[in-house]
Amino acid sequence: MSDFEQVEKRDGESVSVLHITDTHLFAAEDGTLLGIDTAESLNAVIDAVLSSGRSFDFVLCTGDLSQDYSTGSYERFARIIRRLGKPVYWLPGNHDDGPLMYRIMPGLGISTAREIRCGRWQFLMLNSQVYSAPCGYLAPDQLAFLRERLDRSDGLFSAVCLHHNVFHTESAWLDQHDLKNSDQFKSIIYHHGQVKLVLCGHIHQNLERELGGISYIATPSTSIQFAYGHNDFQLDRMGPGWRFIDFAPDGTFTSDLFRLPAESFSPNWFSGGY
Ligand SMILES: [Fe+2]
């Protein structure tokens, strides 16, 4: 099966992407994460996206689709995300079973493409999962894939997606689980001037940074939220989030972050971790 897909777009038009991340779904109908029904919160996000009337070309999901590593959780993801009626591209997070996902997603009607091209942009989906560990690492095959696809990007602009954060959240409990070989990663992307954006999940909060002409953006989870700047585990009262990003043909982009109302999905505030 090819790891490449082209999403058609008319010349000169911007590419609009919906970024959804860290859905943390369960196989069980009544599965909850720290008291939040994660299927219900994802459905509420999708309700809000659909009722906004905003058009988009495809969906990017940057990992932690599951919380229980089960086939049933991915079947649930496919059933819910299908409501959007758009192509969906994804990569594994630390709460996922990556090998299982690559095996079963095609049967659930979801692509396993790792390079998507649309308009003047190339989107690369990297797997930073370390099996059974919460931190991230890009193995040599992932770095080789990144370098190879950036080397022959045919003049397109590039957005690179992965689960783990490169920038810190000033939260020791969370930052210890960042991308461990971020220097290797950055040494590749900074040698390819067409890279404009690094998009991630994992930290369950909004983070927008810029370094050397590359933007680093993390989008809030569709489930629980983590607070910025706390050394110990700390939940945040903000609502589940999602992001639209419009990629212009000139290599610039604009990003709009949206959230459900604060405390629309209240977790168990006394949880000491997850
Ligand atoms: Fe997560």
The domain limits of the chain are 4-259
Instruction: Write out pLDDT tens, residues 98-148.
Output: 999 999 999 999 999 999 999 999 999 999 999 889 999 999 999 999 999
Give the C-alpha separation, 215 to 219, whole Å.
13
178 Cβ partners below 8 Å, 6+ apart?
135, 136, 164, 165, 166, 168
CA of 226 to the centre of ligand 1 (A): 10
Closest to 39 in 3D by CA, of 29, 47, 49: 29
What are the helix and strand counts (H, E) for the chain?
6, 16
Residue 66: strand pairing partners: 25
Task: Give me ligand 1 centre to Cα 24, in Å.
Answer: 7
What is the 134 CA–ligand 1 centroid distance (Å)? 10
Nearest to 60 by CA among 265, 264, 268, 247: 247
> Which residues sit opposite 209 in a β-bridge?
216
Residues in Cβ contact with 261 at an 8 Å cutoff, skipping those fewer than 6 apart: 239
Q: Cα–Cα distance between 274 and 167 in angstroms, integer? A: 21
The predicted structure's pLDDT at residue 25: 98
User: Ligand 1: distance of its center to the CA of 133 in Å?
Assistant: 13
pLDDT of residue 111: 98
Query: How far does residue 252's CA lie from ligand 1's centre (Å)?
Result: 28
Q: What is the mean pLDDT of the chain?
A: 96
Q: What confidence tens digit (pLDDT) does each residue in 30-70 have? A: 899 999 999 999 999 999 999 999 999 999 999 999 999 99
Task: Read off the pLDDT of residues 221-238 as tens digits, 9 standing for 90 and up.
Answer: 999 999 999 999 999 999
Phi–psi pair at 247, nearest 5 degrees: -100, 115
**Ligand 1 centre and the CA of 177: distance in Å?**
11
In terms of Cβ atoms closer than 10 Å to its own Cβ (0-12, 13-18, 19+), residue 44 is middle
From the CA of 254, how far away is ligand 1's center (Å)?
Answer: 24
Sign, CA torsion 139/182/198/236? positive
In sequence order, what are the residues at sequence separation of 6 or more whose Cβ sits closer than 8 angstroms to the Cβ of residue 45? 20, 222, 240, 241, 242, 260
pLDDT for 131: 84
Residues making up the chain, counted from first to last: 274
| Cβ density class 101-113: b for 16+ within 10 Å, e for less | beebbeebebbbb
Q: What digits encode the pLDDT tens for the residues 176-219?
A: 999 999 999 999 999 999 999 999 999 999 999 999 999 999 99
Q: 185 CA distance to ligand 1 centroid (A)?
A: 21
What is the per-residue pLDDT across 260-274, written as a single tens digit (0 to 9) for each? 999 899 888 888 887
Domain 4-259 has CATH 3.90.470.20: no
Scanning the structure block, which residue is given the tokens 């110990």? 232
Q: What pLDDT does 263 receive?
A: 83
Query: In the prediction, which pLDDT does 254 show?
Result: 98
- For the stretch 144-185, pLDDT in tens is 999 999 999 999 999 999 999 999 999 999 999 999 999 999
Residue 270, pLDDT score = 80
> Could you tell me the distance, in angstroms and rounded to a whole number, from the CA of residue 34 to the centre of ligand 1?
12
The whole-number pLDDT of residue 146 equals: 98
Question: What spacing in Å lies between the alpha carbon of 204 and ligand 1's midpoint?
Answer: 6
DSSP annotation of 157 reads E
Instruction: Give the distance (Å) from ligand 1 centre to CA of residue 109.
Output: 23
How much distance in Å is there from the Cα of 256 to the middle of ligand 1?
Answer: 21
257 CA to centre of ligand 1 in angstroms: 18
Rounded distance from Cα 4 to ligand 1 centre (Å): 26
Question: Residue 93: what pLDDT?
Answer: 98
DSSP calls for 32-100: EETTEEHHHHHHHHHHHHHHHT---SEEEE-S--BSS--HHHHHHHHHHHGGG-S-EEE---TTS-HHH
Q: What is the 224 CA–ligand 1 centroid distance (Å)?
A: 8
Distance 205 CA to ligand 1 centre (A): 10
Cα 145 to averaged position of ligand 1 atoms, centre (Å): 24
Query: Is residue 1 pLDDT above 80, yes or no?
Result: no
